[in-house]
Amino acid sequence: MCGIVGYVGHRDALPLLLNSLERVTYRGYDSFGVALLNGQGIEVYKSVGTVEECRAQVPPLQGTLAIGHTRWSTVGKVSVDNAHPHLDCSGEVAIVHNGDIDNFSYLRQRLQDQGHSFRSETDSEVIAHLIEAYSNGDIVDAVSRAMRELEGSFAIAVLHRPSRQIVAARRESPLVIGLGKGEAFIASDIPAILPYTNQVAFLEDGDLALVSEEGLRVWHDGREASRQVHQVSWSAEQMSKGGYDHFMLKEIYEQPQAIRDTVADYTEQSRGGPSLGCFLPVTDPDVVLLLGCGTSYHAALLGEQLLSRLLPGPVVARVASEFQAGSLRSDRGLAIAFSQSGETTDTITALRHVKSAGFSSLAVTNVMESSITRAVDATLYTRAGPEVAVASTKTFISQLVALYVLAYQLAPDRQAVEMIPRNLRALPGKVRQLLANVETIQQVARVLAEAPYMFVIAKGLDVPVALEGALKFKEVAYLHTEGYPAGELKHGPFALLQEETPVLAIVPADQHRARMLTTIREIKTRGSRVIAIAAQDDEEVAEFADSVLRIPKIDPLMSPVLNTVMVQLLSYYCALERGCPIDRPRNLAKSVTVP
């Protein structure tokens, strides 16, 4: 969940390093640091805070070989000493690390007994001293031997003064190498290096790499290996705010294009319907298991609701961090794992358990060549483009679109899903229509911003949307919000309803509508304030709710997409009213690569 960058080449490295670190700030932003190699040796600067906040204080360090890091603390408090890079005792090795070293206490004690002196509380510093302990003039060999002793996950970049080289290695944490003319780049994520190159190679689990001006050499299990170079289709311009106040708002407004691109990627032009035949490892599963964490778990929950209506066998969603296979076993089962980054450790771990139970597996992710794609039988890529804000918006919407494509492909009853292609093609226009009228949403958000807490309620397909909406209010607006199935209010939450307590009620245009209106009436008898989200032609709901937010008319099966956009906008404008750091919520990071 930390961000790593590195550079070797002919440019002045410091400005490049700082620019790259700013581009991976979403991976962690409680402290940062850089190490540059020059005639004075390895020079290090570290600071608490973000690069953006502290850039003016960074001294003009010189060098063309450098590594940098932005931290999200897991071991050791937020402090300059605990910030990366970390040095060995001699000052000849500097390292940056993303991950968790499980056996660091044992290694630290052993190294201290050998005379090594530690400056930080972190698990990461043991890596620098372990490499020093194995130093024999060959930095690649020293890093390789250190890797064999490390238990846990890591992505590391090692700057070595004597050889003037940078070595990178990874295990269960992502690392990408960018290649240019006479220069090379190291990063946790593609966005960090996108302004400088679109030619990238993805290191695989267990890889060790020597990164130099000449290019890239890779070893795996002691043998030299090659890694394919990919051309990234994203542009550097996509990584800018483009005139918007926040990345989150920009990414909300990019959702029509994200939907269009994801649909287009899986559309059979001859009949206009989505086609996934060449992607699905099993087309008639007897059981479907959906896995995810956070927002991706909410996509899995919606998948459970949707596919349960269409498939004859059981469909079950599980939060990946709590998943245990137990007695679960099926040779015709299909596990579908959702991960925006493709690097979510808990989801990848759950996949291993599922595969050992005989399931075929499919990943739904936004990042090509990510770790999850190597853990599954097939991958369905969403086409959301880069997402910078910590709170996921367009990647979640793209996951929902992918679910409808999957539903169309898997459903044995073609008549039950015949409306999906038509509605998928209409979705971008419907979302644009919603985004063009935000004045009422802004007014409602101003009211919500004054509340100490609130509820989001729904029924059926919209229950996952209520949970996702509650998460968004917590994430970006710091407003304690509970998402509930409407029928569960009497089982406890009613005790918290007071006069003026805001309740956001998603009113569907399906068989659940009458029950939702009854629930709204019951809430109003407690004096609470009800804001309804309803179809534009639902006039009756205005008789019961204090405010009504309208979504364009669409088939009820697809309305969760539009309802999601509505709660995204509400949470954004509520956060704006409350003065929250919308793109970088406290204590959170976008890519959760540690358990």
Rg of the chain in Å (alpha carbons): 25
User: What is the SS3 assignment for 359?
Assistant: coil
Kindly report the length of the chain.
595
Q: Which of 244, 187, 212 is nearest to 6 (CA)?
A: 187
Strands (E), 148-286: 152-160, 165-171, 176-180, 183-187, 199-202, 207-212, 215-220, 223-225, 229-231, 267-268, 273-274
Residue with tokens 């949403």: 441
Spot the catalytic one: 2, 293, 574, 580. 2
Residue 510: partners with Cβ closer than 8 Å, 6 or more residues away: 460, 556
* b/e code 194-216 from CB counts within 10 Å (16+ = b): bbbbbbbbbbbeebbbbbbeeeb
Please tell me whether the peptide bond between 85 and the residue prior to it is cis, using omega within 30 degrees of 0. yes
Q: How far is Cα 121 from Cα 281, in angstroms, rounded to an integer?
A: 46
Cα–Cα distances (Å) from 271 to 403, 407, 418, in that order, read 19, 17, 12
Active site residue 590: yes
- Of the candidates 46, 250, 394, 590, the residue annotated as catalytic is 590
For residues 258 and 35, what is the distance between their CA atoms, to the nearest angstrom? Answer: 38
* Cα torsion 291, 191, 83, 180: sign: positive
Q: Catalytic site residue 89?
A: no
Question: SS3 for 147?
Answer: helix
Element (H, E) at 483: strand 480-485
Residues 6+ apart with CB under 8 A from 145: 134
Closest to 43 (Cα-Cα) out of 4, 87, 97, 98: 87
371-384 b/e (C-beta count within 10 Å ≥ 16 → b): bbbebbbbbbbbbb
Are 434 and 535 in contact by the 8 Å Cβ rule? The answer is no
- Cα first-last separation, the chain: 10
d(CA 198, CA 530): 49
Q: Which two tokens stand for residue 473?
A: 């209010």
Distance CA 573, CA 438 (A): 10
The CA distance from 44 to 51, in Å, is: 15
Residues annotated as catalytic are 2, 590
